[in-house]
């Protein structure tokens, strides 16, 4: 099953298979999400905001929560793109400042 992922501020929508990470879907569509550790969940550089569809994502792991806790601009909609498995339509904001 495919889901629609709408990325802001690019205003681009792509389709992704269930189970694909947001990071992999973005990179496949040439949408740049910085990911210093290569998408291995070892840093927090792929931080995104999930504006709609958070309930369709897998739960945050303890490791992800620890990494997000180190960010200044972290809030309830914060996730790491490499840790989110797609399972429904999403609206995602990629923070501009890094």
Taking the chain, what is the end-to-end CA distance rounded to the nearest angstrom? 33
Cα distances from 85 to residues 12, 53, 54, 72, 96, in angstroms, run 19, 12, 11, 24, 22
Residue 39 domain boundaries: 2-93
Summarize pLDDT for 20-57 with one digit per residue, the tens: 999 999 999 999 999 999 888 899 999 999 999 999 99
Task: Dihedral sign for Cα 36, 39, 43, 47, please.
Answer: positive
Specify the pLDDT at position 68: 95
Our count of domains for the chain comes to 1
Residue 98 inside a domain? The answer is: no
CATH number, domain at 83?
Answer: 3.10.20.30
Residue 97 clears pLDDT 80, i.e. is over it: no
């Amino acid at each position: 099953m495919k889901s629609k992922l709408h990325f802001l501020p690019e205003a681009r929508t792509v389709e992704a298979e269930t189970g694909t990470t947001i990071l992999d879907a973005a990179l496949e569509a040439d949408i740049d999400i910085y990911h210093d550790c290569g998408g291995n969940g070892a840093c927090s550089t792929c931080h995104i905001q999930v504006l709609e569809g958070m309930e369709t994502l897998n739960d945050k792991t303890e490791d992800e929560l620890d990494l997000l806790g180190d960010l200044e601009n972290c809030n309830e909609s914060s996730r790491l793109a490499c840790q989110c498995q797609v399972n429904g339509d999403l609206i995602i904001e990629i923070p501009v400042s890094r």
